[in-house]
Amino acid sequence: GLEPSMEYKARVAAMTIRGTGPYSRWHTGKTKENTFHYLFTEKLPPERPSALTLTSTEKSIYMNWTQPRYTGAPLDGYIIGYGRYIPEVNRKILTDIQLSYVIRQLRENTEYIISVRAFNKFGESAATYDFIKTKDCEYTVLASLISLRSKRRFLSLCIFPVKLEPPQMIKALTLSTTSIGIYWIDPALNKFKRRDRRLYTLRYSSAYQTEYTYLNVSKPPVILKDLDVDTQYEFAIRVVRNDEHSTWSLPESNTTFMNPPILYPTNLTVTATYIPSKVVVSWKHVLKRNTSKTEKYILYYTTDPRLNITLWNKTELKSGKKSLTIEGLESTTNYYFKIQAGNSGGNGPFSPMIAFRSFAG
């Protein structure tokens, strides 16, 4: 069963039930040439290539292989095959002296099945297969090229990784008493189409917290919920890509809204003056047991209490005020008044309505 015209080495040793004795020195011998063997094998396809190795970049795959085992069959060249998920969609014929090849203009981040075959005039060998995935392109931009016929074509360019920059223009928008929305701009995404699967880490804390809370997100905006009422928070964001990360962005702060007042001002009173068209409206501050801070008072008055409150005359005053002078009233006319307290979280309930009839002028 030895191959014709091949050199072999052999050595022998005696063996008994007690073990194996020392080996002789190596002896070399060569089998005779089998004329009939070569007459037969030279009309067959060659053996397949071996030791196929692959490496890839974003747009190319580099191939290397070794010659097939010699059987006497002639070798005229090699056939390279490749395809996305399907083998040998594309084929390329090479000479018999080429043992490497570069497949170019491929798609990034895509798996290809690669094959190489040897061939001669009697046929092709079996294929040696392997598969590899092209690398992910960090950024891709589209550059437009204008042909001589004024037809617009597009060329996809792969840009290699650049240093990660922190997000910019961080905006924190208060949405409610317990939620704040965060938005930012990634400067890299203004220049390139994102292709590197970057993420963002958002950190935030309130003034009385000693540790940050961290949150990983894929894109803006982010709405943070279950925050404390009437509390200032500070936010910062950084870009994360694989094991890399940018520096933290400049911090941005905002405060959640207060709870609206739960009580109304009391003792709403209208007092006439010596001028019939002028009155003084006064009230008492919201009681201290109210758990919400009062930032303003809103006084409403009208001559028709059936109107929607949005159609009443309205005046806003700072919370330190306890009275308001109203001028320009019509004589002998019934006026109706209400008041409520308010803050950044909203307005509280209305006081009971009171009526006042202006004097004759």
Q: Is residue 285 a contact partner of residue 268, using CB atoms and an 8 Å limit?
A: no
pLDDT score at 308 = 94
Residue with tokens 């008492």: 284
Span 275-302, average pLDDT: 86
pLDDT score at 32 = 74
pLDDT band at 278 (very low <50, low <70, confident <90, very high): very high
Domains and CATH numbers, the chain: 1-135 (2.60.40.10), 168-255 (2.60.40.10), 266-357 (2.60.40.10)
Longest Cα–Cα distance in the chain? 142
Span 2-8, average pLDDT: 72
Q: Which of residues 72 and 213 earns the better pLDDT score?
A: 213
Q: Which of residues 283 and 243 earns the better pLDDT score?
A: 283
User: Would the pLDDT of 96 be above 50?
Assistant: yes
pLDDT in tens, 160-218: 556 788 999 999 999 988 999 999 998 877 655 555 678 999 999 998 888 999 999 99
Measure the CA–CA gap between 134 and 127, rounded to whole angstroms: 21
Span 118-131, average pLDDT: 90
pLDDT score at 171 = 94
Structure tokens at 2: 């030895």
Of the given ranges (8-17, 192-201, 305-314, 339-348), which has the lowest mean pLDDT? 192-201
Residue 154 contacts by C-beta under 8 Å, 6 or more apart in sequence? 142, 143, 144, 145
User: Would the pLDDT of 312 be above 90?
Assistant: yes
pLDDT score at 290 = 52
User: Would the pLDDT of 18 be above 80?
Assistant: no
Measure the CA–CA gap between 28 and 12, rounded to whole angstroms: 12
Span 26-33, average pLDDT: 80
User: How does the average pLDDT of the chain come out, rounded?
Assistant: 85
Spatial CA neighbour of 196 closest among 237, 235, 245: 245
